[in-house]
């Protein structure tokens, strides 16, 4: 902005020099057209104007390059944003493959349950490490900012009115920001 003002002032000065007015006389409204301006001063002002124009054009070109570069970087970031989570989930996927192979080999239900529980715990731990946190809703007051009421059911105890009785679908936070509302049953 300051360069633009300087450029405008320089242009005014060149115009005034060509008409025989200097900047002070122009600002004061004087009409002394008889004072000649030397060709040397006019050349100097034209050089300054050309220099300011050059600076302005270079600045604009640099800004356009900056906009293109940041736009490209943003696009690349969006395309690879989930890469870190996916790479972390590959270990869990490998465990799922091993568990599936083991389920096909054995008939021992207890061993299958233990294997599935280990995979489930690893999945939860990996997601929690990436900032995922489950929302605790049951027996809390119904809050429209966190919960989505599926239905209301009558409750025998007055203290349960307006509270979450059951959770149909868990809600989740990602780094303390709600990414999925809990679908709940509310007592009435």
Residue by residue, DSSP assigns 86-148 as: HHHHHHHHHHHHHHHHHHHH---HHHHHHHHHHHHHHHHHHHHHTTEEE---TTSBP-TTTEE
Q: What is the pLDDT of residues 42-86, one digit of tens each?
A: 999 999 999 999 999 999 999 999 999 999 999 888 877 778 888
CA trace torsion 102, 105, 110, 113 (10° rounding): 30
Give the range with max mean pLDDT: 35-39, 55-59, 107-111, 141-145.
Answer: 55-59
pLDDT of residue 107: 84
Per-residue pLDDT averaged across 6-17, rounded? Answer: 54
What is the pairing mode between strands 132-134 and 147-153?
Answer: unpaired
**Model confidence, pTM:** 0.55
Sheet holding 177-180, edge to edge: 132-134, 172-174, 177-180
Position 3 pLDDT exceeds 80:
no
CA trace torsion 108, 110, 111, 114 (10° rounding): 160
pLDDT band at 10 (very low <50, low <70, confident <90, very high): low
Q: Are 186 and 152 in contact (CB under 8 A)?
A: yes
Per-residue pLDDT averaged across 19-34, rounded? Answer: 48
Angle between helices 109-129 and 83-105 (to 10 degrees): 180
pLDDT band at 29 (very low <50, low <70, confident <90, very high): very low
Report the alpha-carbon angle 131-133-139, nearest 5: 165
Among 7-16, 71-80, 91-100, 120-129, the minimum mean pLDDT is found in 7-16
| Length of the chain, in residues | 188
CA trace torsion 103, 108, 114, 118 (10° rounding): -20
């Amino acid at each position: 902005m300051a360069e633009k003002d300087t450029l405008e002032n320089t242009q005014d000065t060149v115009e005034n020099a060509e008409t025989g007015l200097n900047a002070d006389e122009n600002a004061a409204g004087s009409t002394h057209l008889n004072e000649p301006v030397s060709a040397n001063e006019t050349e100097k002002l034209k050089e300054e104007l050309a220099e300011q124009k050059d600076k302005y054009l270079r600045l604009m070109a640099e800004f356009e390059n900056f906009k293109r570069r940041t736009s490209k970087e943003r696009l690349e970031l969006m395309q690879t944003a989930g890469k870190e989570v996916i790479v972390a989930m590959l270990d869990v996927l490998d465990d799922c493959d091993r568990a599936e192979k083991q389920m096909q080999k054995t008939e021992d239900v207890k061993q299958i349950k233990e294997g599935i529980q280990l995979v489930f715990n690893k999945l939860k731990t990996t997601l929690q490490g990436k900032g995922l946190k489950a929302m605790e809703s049951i027996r809390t007051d119904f809050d429209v900012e966190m919960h989505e009421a599926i239905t209301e059911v009558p409750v025998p105890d007055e203290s349960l009115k307006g509270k979450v009785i059951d959770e149909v679908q868990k809600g989740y936070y990602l780094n303390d920001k709600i990414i999925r509302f809990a679908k709940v049953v509310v007592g009435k």
